[in-house]
Chains A and B, each alone.
Chain A
Amino acid sequence: MTAIPAPTRVPAPRKGAGDHVANSSRRRSSPWVYIALTGGLVLMIGPFLWMVLGSLKPEADFLRTPPTFLPSTITTDNYGRLFDQLDFPRYFFNSAVIAFAVTAGTILFCPMLGYALAKLRWHGKGLIMGLVLATLMVPAGITLIPNFILMSNLGLVNTYPGLILPFLVGPFGVFLMRQFMYGVPNELLEAARMDGANEFRVFWSVVMPIATPVLATLAILTFLGSWNSFLYPFVMAQEPQMYTLPVALATFATGQYQADHGMLMAGSVLIVVPVLIVFVLFQRWITEGIATTGLKG
């Protein structure tokens, strides 16, 4: 089974710079392009640096005009306040629980439906396909109020299920998985069926393993989407013990801590840095997954 190449639409591992010799030998790259790109890169990275440095500044640095780029002394007070005065570990935990649950559900349910749509024959397939694809472009705001009313009546406001369930129905994942499943060779499935595997076994032991690359892309995009999502959890998490990180940060940034720049920067660091680490570790999956599908989660 391992000998069969994965029929994915994700392109082969990225070529190194050397592979473009044909292009580059023909056209020497100008140093000005490097300078311009580096300048742009500084603009892209600058705000992150400002954030990290800001989170390490003592309170007095924020009152100084003109301000300074570097902290006068490095302090972890800002983080201390996040943990002592506010319950940031709890918000971090909430964000993580929700993101993991949403991701787990998505990378199970979406390939299941994608498989059924691409490889199985059943009544209602066309209808479901049409319905799901029709919602691909629906703005998130449209379901906010009805879902809130629904959750209120189900008693799920302020609960993990209330914050997780509506995120398990992204049509993007189905779209992506269906596209992938079309590429899975039927012979492979047949071989497994011949060996006596039932449909779930075929799906689980044959299809899912070869789907690993595209599942990884879907998982990372889903995780990021959930980790960063704001409006829905903002409405659905009313008690601080259910806040996610973005909800907590937005609440404090527009409320009583709005002038506490140091603490707000520290809070931003807590949201952004884990994601940056995940990204740098898995950047290939993310950028290539997006480039192939042309969509984001």
Chain B
Amino acid sequence: MTVPALARRTSAEAAPAASAGRRWRWRDDLTGWAFAAPFVILFLVFLAFPIVVSFILSFTSFGLRDLQNPVGATFVGLQNYVDLLSDPKFWASLLNTVYFVVVGVPITLALGLLIANALNRGITRFRTVFRVGYYLPVITSIVAIAVVWRFLLNPDVGLINMLLASLGIKGPAWLADPALAMPSIIAMAVWRNLGFAMIVFLAGLQAIPASLYEAASIDGAGRGQSFRYVTLPMLRPTILFMTVITTIGYLQLFEEPFVMTGGGPLDRTLSVTMYMYQQGFTFFHQGYASAVAYVLFVIVAIVAFLQFKFLRSDA
């Protein structure tokens, strides 16, 4: 690098964070965009643009024949959304998904918090063993786990009914039973995800100063009371955040029913994402499927919006 170049650079970059009044230079823009470009280009092409396209698609009757010439798809206005309103399968899928979220999220978080609390204050040894053990399912492939659980829950050759039989109980048909299929899937989701909640809660718990607990115990608070009056209030932002993250994740339920039940029995485990897949890639009603996807998007957006509102006022 030549001396003039060096000099120029030094003067231009003297105090980049502080010099607010400094004139913008095209070189700064060039450098900034050069750093941003690889991600931004891919981002625009494969994420931002598709999000917009998906919205447009939901107003068309896009089908297989339109794929060769996507811009020639027929606009149908709000027809897809109107059809959705009177589509019993869509409502069933929405209801199933809400059921999964409303039951699954609290159980996942409660168990995660319970275990995190036990690890943080209940025990002194083998912490790493428990932490790693409870976290293991989180990192595994849902597809593989769903295959394993389908086999576990098999009424004839599965482990669960084998254990029940050894207690003299005749186990039910789990995934083939309309009333038990979704609870079975929830059980699996809880098993797989509670470790994630545990890890985040553990970090939150470790940030609570020990002095608070000491003060509580001087005031005569027992284990339960210090949990109620120290742990819970201190952990509120974390709990709220985890609720939102888990809810958004659970709203996108797909792999578990896809592998374990195929959406059955009687569509009791058909999720919104599964219905979108079915409409979009089995029947190739991609316009209609886009409308399904957008409804889910709006629900997720509302949940995310509520999070920001709550977190603002809270933290």
A residues adjacent to B (C-beta < 8 A):
14, 17, 20, 22-24, 26-27, 29-30, 33-34, 36-37, 40-41, 43-48, 50-51, 54, 62-69, 108-110, 112-113, 115-117, 119-125, 128, 131-132, 135, 137-150, 152-153, 165-166, 168-169, 171, 174, 186, 189-190, 193-194, 196, 198-200, 203, 224, 227-228, 230-231, 235, 245-246, 249-250, 253-254, 261, 264-265, 267-268, 271-272, 275-276, 279-280, 283, 286-287, 290-292, 294-296
User: A295 and B43 in contact (CB under 8 A), knowing A48-B136, A141-B252?
Assistant: no
Known contacts A144-B276, A144-B293, A287-B131; 15 further A-B pairs (Cβ under 8 A): A29-B123, A29-B124, A41-B134, A51-B144, A112-B38, A124-B32, A142-B293, A143-B50, A150-B49, A196-B6, A227-B141, A264-B151, A268-B144, A271-B144, A291-B203
B200-A294 in contact (CB<8A)? yes
| Minimum Cβ distance to chain A for residue B245 (Å) | 7
Q: Which of B54, B57, B139, B199 has the most CB of A within 10 A?
A: B139
* CA A116 to CA B38, docked complex, whole Å: 12
Pair A196/B1 contact, Cβ less than 8 Å: yes
Is the Cβ of A41 less than 8 Å from the Cβ of B130? Answer: yes
A150 to chain B, nearest CB (A): 7
Q: Which of B36, B70, B130, B196 has the most CB of A within 10 A?
A: B36
Q: Which residues of A contact B86 (CB under 8 A)?
A: none
For A115, A123, A268, A283, which residue has the most chain B Cβ atoms within 10 angstroms? A268
- The answer to whether B162 and A122 touch across the interface, beta carbons within 8 angstroms, is no
Q: How far is the CA of A276 from the CA of B137 in the complex (A)?
A: 9
Name 7 interchain pairs, CB-CB below 8 A, sorted by A.
A112-B39, A124-B29, A124-B33, A265-B147, A268-B147, A275-B141, A276-B139
CB of A140 within 8 A of CB of B136, answer no
Given contacts A65-B157, A174-B39, A203-B35, are A140 and B252 in contact (CB under 8 A)? yes
Is B70 touching A132 in the complex (CB atoms < 8 A)?
Answer: no
Does B57 contact A146, Cβ atoms closer than 8 Å?
yes
> What chain B residues lie within 8 Å of A189 (beta carbons)?
16
B285: min CB distance to chain A, Å: 10
Please determine whether A194 and B136 come into contact, CB atoms closer than 8 angstroms: no
Q: Which of B150, B242, B280, B300 is in CB contact (< 8 Å) with A138?
A: B300
Q: Quick one: given A128-B40, A253-B259, are A141 and B35 in contact (CB under 8 Å)?
A: no
Q: Which residues of A contact B138 (CB under 8 A)?
A: 296
Within 8 A of A (CB), among B270-315: 273, 276-277, 280-281, 286, 289-290, 293-294, 296-297, 300-301, 304
Report how many residues on chain B are interfacial, defined by Cβ distance under 8 Å: 115
For A200, list chain B residues within 8 Å (CB).
34
Task: Say yes or no: B39 contacts A253, CB within 8 Å.
Answer: no
**Does the CB pair B148–A271 fall under 8 Å?**
no
Interface contact A113-B39, CB-CB below 8 Å: yes
* In the bound complex, CA of A132 to CA of B266 (Å): 40
Whether a CB of chain A sits under 8 angstroms from the CB of B145 is: yes
Asked whether, in the complex, the Cβ of A120 is within 8 Å of the Cβ of B199, the reply is no
Chain B residue, CB-CB nearest to A258 = B150
Contact of B280 with A291 in the complex, beta carbons under 8 Å: no
A118 to chain B, nearest CB (A): 10
Q: Which residues of B contact A48 (CB under 8 A)?
A: 136, 148
Report yes or no: A145 in contact with B293, Cβ–Cβ below 8 A.
yes
User: In the complex the two chains form, what is the Cα distance from A152 to B262 in whole Å?
Assistant: 27
Of B87-95, B113-121, B175-183, B227-235, the one with at least 4 CB within 8 A of chain A: B113-121
Are the CB atoms of A166 and B46 closer together than 8 Å?
yes
Chain A residues within 8 Å of B28, by CB: 120-122
Task: Tell me the smallest distance from the CB of A34 to a CB of chain B, in Å.
Answer: 6
Q: Are B143 and A143 in contact (CB under 8 A)?
A: no
Alpha-carbon distance between A108 and B149 when the two chains are bound, in angstroms = 37
Question: Does B102 count as interface, using CB distance less than 8 angstroms?
Answer: no
Q: Which of B42, B251, B255 contacts A168 (CB 8 A)?
A: B42
Which residues of B are found within 8 Å of A165, using beta-carbon distances?
42, 45-46
In the bound complex, CA of A274 to CA of B50 (Å): 33
Bound Cα distance A199, B144 (Å): 45
- Compute how far the CA of A128 lies from the CA of B217 in the bound complex, rounded to whole angstroms: 50
Question: A142 touching B115 by the CB < 8 A rule?
Answer: no
Contacts of A296 in B (CB 8 A): 138, 196
CA A1 to CA B34, docked complex, whole Å = 26
Which residue of B6, B57, B200 is within 8 Å of A290 (Cβ)?
A: B200
Pick the residue among B214, B286, B297 that contacts A26 (CB under 8 A).
Answer: B214
Q: Using Cβ atoms and an 8 Å threshold, which residues of chain B touch A23?
A: 121, 210, 213
A96 CB to nearest B CB, Å: 14
Residue of B nearest to A121 (CB): B28
